Amino acid sequence: MNFDERTLTDAVLARMDGCEDARFVTIMTSLVRHLHDFVREVELTEAEWMEGIRFLTATGQKCDDKRQEFILLSDTLGVSMLVDAINHRFAKGVTETTVFGPFFVEGAPHVAQWADIRGGAKGAPCFVSGTVRDIDGAPVADAVIDVWQSDGEEGFYDVQKPGAEPYCRAKIHTDASGRFGFLTVKPISYPVPTDGPVGGMLLTMGRHPYRPAHIHTMIQGEGFAPLTTHLFVAGDKYLDSDAVFGVKDSLVVDFVTNPAGRAPDGSTMNEPFVTATYDFVLARA
């Protein structure tokens, strides 16, 4: 009773005395404390509180089975990368992780080495290859690399285009030497979806919505921790200002343009093509 600005926080926390889930108490105690401190610190007005409620309501209403506006909110506020960092404290030398993003689709086809995964996507042909190894340099055979990315001309994922056939998605297996290779298109930078409340938030914050060009990879090897990361295109103008704070120097790769001629898969290309190589290192599970 008679709670005031100072005593209300402890009163709310005391109401959890009957909670039997210790982790839940830890999380809610911290959340309530930080939330109350935030309200006190900024001296939130009633109009601002209402605007916050409106924003969160609109964020929920924008979500459906294909669109997750709350994850986008988490991404653009840096929370996703913070959770990622806390949960993947791998040893030095292990490939760094980055944000998962909303455009992964379960069930991409398993393809052979050097498969063409473009599926009709436009963009410069791009051969991506490399190895998957453990921290001691031993090859990881039969690791499965899930790959997904946007096209190389408009910057859209297939799932962003109603009715489009799947493109630039595949599961590639490493060979006995831990090697992999595939043919895709060179990705370009693209904006995160801006037609919802998060887009409005970015605009009001004075931020652009772009992500630097990248290829998503998720690697699973028997006995190893799964690795979700990106390969970023060196030289992209958004590397220093990724809308979701996902860039790490160690993930920036040279995508080299080559003249027409012999390609890494042994074929002959009669147009210029791009090559990129990367050697992934997995942590033991």
- Measured at CB, which residue is nearest to Fe ion? 101
Q: Is 101 in the site for Fe ion (CB under 5 A)?
A: yes
Give yes or no for residue 181 binding ligand BEZ (CB under 6 A). Answer: no
Among 70, 90, 103, 114, binds ligand BEZ (CB under 6 A): 103
Interface segment toward Fe ion; rule CB under 5 A; list 95-103, 112-120, 133-141, 247-255: 95-103
- Give the single-character DSSP code of 94: S
Judged by CB under 6 A, does residue 73 bind ligand BEZ?
A: no
251 binds ligand BEZ (CB under 6 A): no
CA atoms within 13 Å, Cβ hemisphere of 233:
24
Could you tell me which residues come within 8 angstroms of residue 222 by beta carbon, excluding any fewer than 6 positions away? 142, 143
Instruction: With H, G, I as helix, E, B as strand and everything else as coil, classify residue 16.
Output: coil
Residue type (1 letter), 276: A
Does position 199 interact with Fe ion (CB under 5 A)? The reply is no
Query: What is the closest distance, in whole angstroms, from the C-beta atom of residue 99 to Fe ion in the complex?
Result: 8
Q: How far is the CB of 195 from ligand BEZ (least distance, A)?
A: 13
- Does residue 102 bind ligand BEZ (CB under 6 A)? yes
Cβ of residue 75: shortest distance to ligand BEZ, in angstroms? 4
Site string for ligand BEZ, 25-64 (x = CB under 6 A): ----------------------------------------
The one-character DSSP state at 160 is G
Do residues 216 and 178 lie in contact, with contact meaning Cβ atoms separated by under 8 Å? no
- Would you count residue 282 as binding ligand BEZ (CB under 6 A)? no
What is the biggest distance separating any 2 CA atoms in the chain, rounded to whole angstroms? 81
Q: Which does 118 bind (CB under 5 to 8 A by kind): ligand BEZ, Fe ion, none?
A: none
* Whole-angstrom distance, CA of residue 80 vs CA of residue 73: 9
Q: CA-to-CA distance for 257 and 115, rounded, in angstroms? A: 20
Distance CA 156, CA 188 (A): 9
E strand or H helix at 119: none
- Residue 173 corresponds to which tokens in the numbers above? 């297996």
Q: Which of residues 210-249 bind ligand BEZ (CB under 6 A)?
A: 211, 244
Q: Looking at residue 28, what DSSP letter applies?
A: H
Beta-sheet pairing, 261-262 with 268-269: antiparallel
| Cβ nearer to Fe ion, comparing 178 with 212 | 212
Pick the piece of the chain touching ligand BEZ (CB under 6 A) from 38-46, 99-107, 162-170, 258-266.
99-107
Residue 79 CA to residue 99 CA, distance in Å, equals 10
Binding residues (CB under 5 A) for Fe ion: these are 101
Binding residues (CB under 6 A) for ligand BEZ: these are 72, 75, 99, 101-103, 192, 211, 244
